[in-house]
Amino acid sequence: MQFYWKNRTVPGQRLPTGKERNSPLMTDNDQISELAEKARTGNRESMDRLISLFYQDIFRMVYYRTHSRMDAEDLTQEIFMQMIRGLPGLKDTARLRPWLFRIALNRVRDFYRKKSMLVFFGLTPEIGNCDEMDGNMSDNPAEYMKRKEFWHQFRKFADRLSKWEREIFLLRFADHMGIREIAETLKKNESTVKTHLYRGLKKFRQASGFRELLND
């Protein structure tokens, strides 16, 4: 079975430019660790380099969980601010990627908890699926409808997954993380990760509509 998310941009997302083209997937772990060691001592160039390396991956990760470019941009900025504050206390810089993704996951969860509380107390209207907010049909009708169908099929598939199946499936195939990294990010053992991933894959094979969109 093949998946085609790895080289895709987020639906409606601009292509990265300049340093944003670099990805930690293509960067040696030792180099990342070296940059982190320098950044934690206040080296601004190394910190900027780390942010450039990880920005696209973190933005995509947040976008796939919020379906809103505006929220994803805001949360991504907050995640990197938290990374900057927390990096001096990171004991093992070789584990920077799962540590950063754990920050991102926790920030997304906080976002949804806060959103639920605001809706509950009537401080903000309940917002449905907000993926259509990121585009205007009059600008590019074909792209708009393609994006709308993508998120419709994505939600149908995601609704079939349990909480951990959904999280692990996304970390594996949308965020391109290995089993060990996922286990470190979620603080679960590898056998548990494999079990949830197997169940998610089984349901993916049954989601023909979503599979066809990914393979287009």
CATH number at residue 102: 1.10.1740.10
Alpha carbon 55 to chain centroid distance? 10
The full DSSP string for 6-47 is TTPPPTTPPPP-GGGG--GGGS-HHHHHHHHHHHHTT-HHHH
Read off the pLDDT of residues 32-44 as tens digits, 9 standing for 90 and up.
889 999 999 889 9
Shared domain check, 208 and 117: no
- Stretch 134-161: mean pLDDT, rounded? 67
Q: Are 167 and 161 in contact (CB under 8 A)?
A: no
Q: What is the mean pLDDT of the chain?
A: 76
What are the residues whose beta carbons fall under 8 Å from the beta carbon of 103, sequence distance 6 or more? 79, 82, 83, 86
Q: Could you say which of 126, 155, 184 is where a domain stops?
A: 126
Q: Are 49 and 21 in contact (CB under 8 A)?
A: no
Would you say residue 198 lies in a domain? yes
Write down the pLDDT at residue 215: 57
Q: Alpha-carbon dihedral of residues 139, 143, 147, 150, nearest 10 degrees? A: 160
CA 20, CA 55: separation in Å to the nearest integer?
7
- pTM of structure: 0.69
Read off the pLDDT of residues 48-84 as tens digits, 9 standing for 90 and up.
999 999 999 999 999 988 888 899 999 999 999 999 9
Shared domain check, 122 and 24: yes
Would you say residue 15 lies in a domain? no
CA 59, CA 174: separation in Å to the nearest integer?
11
Q: How many domains does the chain have?
A: 2
Q: Are 49 and 37 in contact (CB under 8 A)?
A: no
Shared domain check, 32 and 99: yes
- DSSP type of residue 197: H
Read off the pLDDT of residues 109-135 as tens digits, 9 standing for 90 and up.
888 877 654 444 344 444 444 444 455
Q: Are 197 and 186 in contact (CB under 8 A)?
A: no
Q: Whole domain around residue 100: which residue ranges?
A: 20-126
Would you say residue 93 lies in a domain? yes
